[in-house]
Amino acid sequence: MKKQKPMTQDWFATARTLSEALPYLQRYSGAIVVIKFGGHAMGDAREMASFARDVVLMRQVGVNPVIVHGGGPMINQMLKRLDIRSDFVRGKRVTDAATMEVVEMVLSGAVNKRIVQAIQDEGGKAVGLSGKDGGMVTCAADDPELGLVGRPVAVNPDLLHHLFTGGFIPVIAPLGMGQGGQTYNINGDTAAGAIAAALKADRLLLLTDVAGVKDENGDVVTQLSPAHVRELTAAGVIAGGMIPKTETALAAIDGGVRAVVILDGRAPNACLLELFTEHGAGSIIRDSAPQITPRG
């Protein structure tokens, strides 16, 4: 007869955490949560598996997650392997026809299917797509000097709603189609924001390699309003790579997303902590945000 292991403080802490999560599980049942997945976690097998497990759990408790992914480092590796030269304008890669072939092959192929496989390995049902499928994302050229880099001008979320009904988790590569049938490469954050707005998502989670938006002292600001974001940007506190992320957040909120969270995708169970705990994770941006409070 197998002996029962003695209960430990860790067991009681786990039980308390599960109990405290109940109101949040109820709160998000049926909610749509768009997650921009990228950064370090995409290249680490263990972190990929952890992320996939969290997404499957979210779906299991009634959340409708949508994954939008990037893949810049993988694209760079393939371009180098194929000896395809890259030109840059103001620090941004020019996407010509040859580069676009590689971008689509890597994003819709290797990267997308790796995420799909990770989710299915954890017991979920995932479907790999790009913004071209079902006429989901229509694009226009973002900057003629950059070639086939697009910005979304229309998003049709009908296909995603059908997938939710079937219990599937959509995994979307950030590609779109122009009016003339031309394929465009879209910045992953921009694509995620546009898709979240079209879905009127409850949450847009932007996973990054930093803990969130920081104030002038280097502390993470846990809650901000759009006005606070604009103030910190004007003051130069929000700068560099954080600017496009906060711009995506503001555009998504303007488009109908209830709240956007910028959080560290390297942190274990970051998405679950944000959705199902009182303290959350990272920096949440929403119209109703109270006064700024820093997190140490």
Q: Which of 6-20, 82-96, 120-134, 236-250 has the lowest mean pLDDT?
A: 6-20
The predicted pLDDT at position 266 comes to: 83
Maximum Cα–Cα distance across the chain: 73
Q: Are 176 and 139 within 8 A, CB to CB?
A: yes
pLDDT given at position 282: 87
pLDDT of residue 51: 93
pLDDT digits 0-9 by tens, 81-103: 999 988 888 767 889 999 999 99
Q: What is the pLDDT of residue 218?
A: 87
Q: pTM of the full predicted structure?
A: 0.89
What's the pLDDT at 295? 42
pLDDT in tens, 166-217: 999 999 999 999 988 899 999 999 999 999 999 999 999 999 888 899 988 8
Contact call for residues 137 and 152 (beta carbons, < 8 A): yes
The pLDDT tens digits for 214-258 are: 988 889 999 999 999 999 999 999 988 899 999 999 999 999 999
User: In sequence order, what are the residues at sequence separation of 6 or more whose Cβ sits closer than 8 angstroms to the Cβ of residue 23?
Assistant: none
Q: Place 291 in a pLDDT band, splitting at 50, 70 and 90.
A: very low
- In which element (H, E) is residue 74 found? helix 72-81
Local confidence band at 275 (pLDDT 50, 70, 90 cut-offs): confident
| Contact in structure between 124 and 52 (CB atoms under 8 Å) | yes
Question: What is the structure's pLDDT at 19?
Answer: 57
Contact 172, 68 (CB under 8 A): yes
Contacts of 247 (CB under 8 A, 6+ apart): none
pLDDT band of residue 260 (cuts 50, 70, 90) is: very high
Taking only the tens place, the pLDDT of each residue in 27-74 is 778 899 999 998 666 778 888 999 999 999 999 999 999 999 998 889
Residue 16's pLDDT band (cuts 50, 70, 90):
low
